[in-house]
């Protein structure tokens, strides 16, 4: 049995802050002891880590990533090896990625394909959601089997007609099935049919630049789809989780539903908290770097998102990490914004960007960890193995220097993409050391991890549903 003790840090979880030493045995948390106690001083271990002046945090859980993801005639530039390594550099020790059902094919085939992409390549632990591209009697039955195997969440798109789109009847049927089998429906809530009309009209009028991507994907069409998803879930007797919420009007729909005590949940992403349509308007096609869907919004939407994170009308901050290089990928949309691959890099910087919100007084330390670690773990059936530091939990531990300063840049990040969405942004706070299941993968800024360390995680059902 190998043992490690982390001494001298401030342990921060969603539940508490305590000056405690952390004892790790065989990859799991064995105990937390107040450092002033006799128990703490009695600990001996094979290895000691000095955390003086550092926060000791649970590893982050990013519940929305797209590694090696096919979209727009290309694939996202991070695969499971490069993407999970970048996640670890940023203090994220668990991802939940999206396996894709090919329209007309079985869910099982899509899931097996994603297992093949990830197996033996991940630096941190991982699980899968399932994208439903074709809801029919066969795939509805497959949902039951997948829930039993630990794939317990299913994403449907109200956007992207002729790609991933499901109509209201298909979404209702899938929600009804989830209500029976305990799965959690996830919805990309944008009115894709209406958006396609606006795209066609914009291009016909010669409005082809990246900034028009944000203009045609209107906030009201996100709000309308969010309202519709909530009402379909009510009819089905199902919970619903709305992904990448970007607009104040959509937040208002979620807040109203939660005010009725409905099992309605939502996430947002750092890009919506820190970036805006100003970036989409960068000259010389530079705005293409920021094309994602839902799109970036005018800056005034950010206050509503931060407020919702504090009031729990939004419960999770994920990244929707889906990077495409500017050169050769984003450039596919020169002259036609609708052909720009949708997606942005972010898996490496989520923990740091949220810590900046702590520095700026927008979030408490405990709420930071709740949004980035504990609640995503609970939402997707991984808690308390993930998302906290408590006896029996996996020893996914981050030593965080709250005073270190850094400047984000493509020259120094570890994501496999040729630009940074936050180029030149100064942050206070930095990940220093990361343990995954007790194994050091980042040691005071030196990479010690390896492809294949990460394990696949069958998940339980959402822990916020009775």
pLDDT of 99-111, one tens digit each?
Answer: 999 999 999 999 9
> CB burial class (10 A; 0-12, 13-18, 19+) of residue 42?
exposed
Both tokens of 88, joined, read 């670890």
Task: Tell me the average pLDDT of the chain.
Answer: 97
What local confidence, expressed as pLDDT, does residue 22 receive?
97
Confidence tier at 38 by pLDDT (50, 70, 90): low
What local confidence, expressed as pLDDT, does residue 40 receive?
56
As its CATH architecture, domain 59-380 has Alpha-Beta Barrel (3.20)
How far is residue 255's CA from residue 238's CA, in Å, rounded to a whole number?
A: 17
pLDDT of 301-311, one tens digit each?
Answer: 999 999 999 99
Please state, for a pLDDT cut of 90, what percent of the chain lies above it. Answer: 95
- Per-residue pLDDT, averaged over 201-207, amounts to 98
How far is residue 350's CA from residue 317's CA, in Å, rounded to a whole number?
A: 8
- Per-residue pLDDT, averaged over 324-328, amounts to 98
* C-beta of residue 10 within 8 angstroms of C-beta of residue 30: no
């Amino acid at each position: 049995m190998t043992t490690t003790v982390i001494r001298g840090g401030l342990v921060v979880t969603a539940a508490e802050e305590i000056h405690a030493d952390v004892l790790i045995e065989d990859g799991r948390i064995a105990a937390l002891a107040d450092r002033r106690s006799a128990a703490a001083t009695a600990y001996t271990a094979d290895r000691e880590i000095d955390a003086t002046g550092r926060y000791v945090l649970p590893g982050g859980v990013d519940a929305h990533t797209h590694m090696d993801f096919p979209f727009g005639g290309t694939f996202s530039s991070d695969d499971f090896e490069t993407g999970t390594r970048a996640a670890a550099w940023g203090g994220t020790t668990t991802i939940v990625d999206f396996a894709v059902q090919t329209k007309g094919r079985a869910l099982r085939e899509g899931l097996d394909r994603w297992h093949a992409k990830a197996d033996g390549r991940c630096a941190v632990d991982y699980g899968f959601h399932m994208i439903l591209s074709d809801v029919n009697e066969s795939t509805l039955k497959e949902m039951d089997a997948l829930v039993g195997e630990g794939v317990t969440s299913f994403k449907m798109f109200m956007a992207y007609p002729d790609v991933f789109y499901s109509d209201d009847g298909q979404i209702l049927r899938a929600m009804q099935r989830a209500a029976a089998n305990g799965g959690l429906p996830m919805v990309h809530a944008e009115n894709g049919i209406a958006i396609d009309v606006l795209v066609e009209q914009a291009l016909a009028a010669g409005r082809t630049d990246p900034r028009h991507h944000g203009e045609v994907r209107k906030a009201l069409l996100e709000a309308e789809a969010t309202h519709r998803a909530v009402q379909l879930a009510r009819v089905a007797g199902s919970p619903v989780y709305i992904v990448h919420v970007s607009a104040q009007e959509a937040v208002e729909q979620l807040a109203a539903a939660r005010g009725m005590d409905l099992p309605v949940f939502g996430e947002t992403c750092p890009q919506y908290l820190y970036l805006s349509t100003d970036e989409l308007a960068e000259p010389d096609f530079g705005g293409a770097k920021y094309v994602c869907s839902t799109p970036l919004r005018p800056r005034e939407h950010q206050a509503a998102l931060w407020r919702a994170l504090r009031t729990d009308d939004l419960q999770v901050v994920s990244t929707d990490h889906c990077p495409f290089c500017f050169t050769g990928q984003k450039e596919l949309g020169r002259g036609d914004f609708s052909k720009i691959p949708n997606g942005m890099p972010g898996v490496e910087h989520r923990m740091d960007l949220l810590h900046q919100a702590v520095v700026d007084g927008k979030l408490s330390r405990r709420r930071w960890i709740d949004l980035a670690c504990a609640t995503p773990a609970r939402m997707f059936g991984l808690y308390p193995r993930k998302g906290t530091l408590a006896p029996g939990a996996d020893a996914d531990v981050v030593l965080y220097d709250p005073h270190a300063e850094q400047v984000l840049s493509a020259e120094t990040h570890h994501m496999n993409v040729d630009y940074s969405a936050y180029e030149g942004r100064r942050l206070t706070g930095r990940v220093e050391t990361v343990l995954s299941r007790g194994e050091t993968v980042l040691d005071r800024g030196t990479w010690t991890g390896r492809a294949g360390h990460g394990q696949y995680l069958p998940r339980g059902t959402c822990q916020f549903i009775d």
